A = this chain, B = another copy of it.
């Protein structure tokens, strides 16, 4: 479920005019921007962008970028983009970092449905004139390349049919692959990157039943081993995306320097999907609501914007 409650009656032209007004003059009226864009769903934001372009012959994102700065700018610009295009931008940014953030790539590849991942790949090609696989392969090497390229290339079957025999036999294969001598993970990578998610979850369950431990247990290593970490992330994203996102949020918030990129990414990309359940799970696991946790670690317009997307709580002090 979503946290966003978009108004049923809305005028793209009026919204575009409000945004233009907020950008004119000496200062920018950030509150007005948050109040408009933070309360419109993806389709409405698209209409606002189109209206803005039509009326002012100017790209809305371009206008926002020139008016704003820092985490708030990045967050509201990402939010304003169409979802598939936004994911393309996020993945590209993760890839181009001095130290690429492989987690974002794995997350995008494994959480999205096969059709949504395809939409991201189309948007990526359109925007960057390269395929996503091409850029991932170019910016990586060795084992991590094998996993990442295969994950972003996957166009999985998305039916719900499960083959129990395959689940049992592949649970065995995976165990051999993880604990055997070869340590090449060839079968693990094959299974993880080609089987449907329904089938994978059946296989993970059989693995747990037969071997009495979760499959990620065998993939623990030095925490900086980015290859094992990518495998674990992929498995977690396929098993239980909400639980995975709760963990990303907690890590981002609890870091000495809050990881605003991760915080914004999860809130923005999930706000129109399952942010409500993520909030519930966050509270259950951390004994503090996500709104409170976010409010405690962020400031100013950025804080106000994230709280708008989170949906303000009744008893939340608007401090």
Contact = CB atoms under 8 A, between A and B. Distances in A.
Contacts of A133: 153-156, 193-194
Interface string A117-158: 010010001000111111001100000010001100111111
Contacts of A153: 133, 150, 153-155
A62 to B, nearest CB: 23
Stoichiometry (number of copies): 2
A190 interface: yes
A193 B125 CA distance: 15
Contact of A125 (B121, B145, B149, B157): B157
Contacts of A159: 125, 129
Contacts of A130: 157, 196
A244 B271 CA distance: 50
Contacts of A145: 190
Interface in A148-202: 149-150, 153-159, 161, 190, 193-196
Nearest to A191: B137
A132 B196 CA distance: 11
Given A149-B150, A150-B149, A194-B149, A156 B129 contact: no
A41 to B, nearest CB: 28
Interface of A: 114, 118, 121, 125, 129-134, 137-138, 145, 149-150, 153-159, 161, 190, 193-196
Given A131-B154, A131-B196, 15 more contacts: A114-B131, A118-B118, A125-B155, A125-B157, A131-B194, A132-B155, A133-B155, A133-B193, A137-B193, A138-B190, A138-B194, A145-B190, A149-B150, A149-B194, A150-B153
